[in-house]
């Protein structure tokens, strides 16, 4: 997607300081953090939202949720105290960039209900 900001970041057209990167994902600090730790984890493959995932994305989603996010939580010292993962989907879900991404938030007490 030529106009997708996250695709441009993944393709190195827009520079960012990655806190983690591999061949499937890139993770970087959110420009408008909502918590002391606020990292975005995005797949390098363009997927518009969770609703656009398919069976072929199972490995990618498992990699993000079972490997990347737990590793980042440990690396960023929020694994022991707790953290929140958010994947906004659709307009009413608060999705502002039409590229699947996961917010990793921590470093403070998360309140409920959110939003």
pLDDT, one tens digit per residue, over 55-111 is 999 999 999 999 999 999 999 999 999 999 999 999 999 999 999 999 999 999 999
Average pLDDT of the residues of the chain: 96
Rounded to two decimals, what is the model's pTM? 0.94
pLDDT, one tens digit per residue, over 11-47 is 999 999 999 999 999 999 999 999 999 999 999 999 9
Query: How many other CB atoms are found less than 10 A from the CB of residue 78?
Result: 21
- pLDDT grade, residue 115 (50/70/90)? low
Specify whether the CB–CB gap between 102 and 64 falls below 8 A. yes
Locate 40 and state its tokens: 């975005």
How far apart (Å, rounded) are the C-alpha atoms in residues 96 and 88?
Answer: 8
User: Does 103 qualify as catalytic in the annotation?
Assistant: no
Q: Active-site residue among 38, 99, 101, 103?
A: 101
| Sequential DSSP letters for 12-34 | TSS---EEEE-SSEEEEE-SS-S
């Amino acid at each position: 997607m030529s106009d997708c900001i996250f695709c441009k970041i993944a393709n190195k057209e827009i520079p960012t300081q990655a806190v983690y990167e591999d061949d499937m994902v890139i993770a970087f600090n959110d420009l408008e953090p909502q918590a002391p730790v606020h990292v975005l984890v995005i797949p390098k493959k363009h997927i518009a939202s969770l609703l656009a995932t398919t069976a072929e994305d199972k490995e990618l989603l498992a990699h993000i949720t079972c490997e990347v996010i737990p590793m980042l939580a440990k690396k960023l010292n929020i694994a022991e105290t707790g953290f929140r993962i958010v994947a906004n989907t659709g307009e009413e879900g608060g999705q502002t960039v039409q590229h699947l991404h996961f917010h990793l938030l921590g470093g403070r007490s998360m309140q409920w209900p959110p939003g």
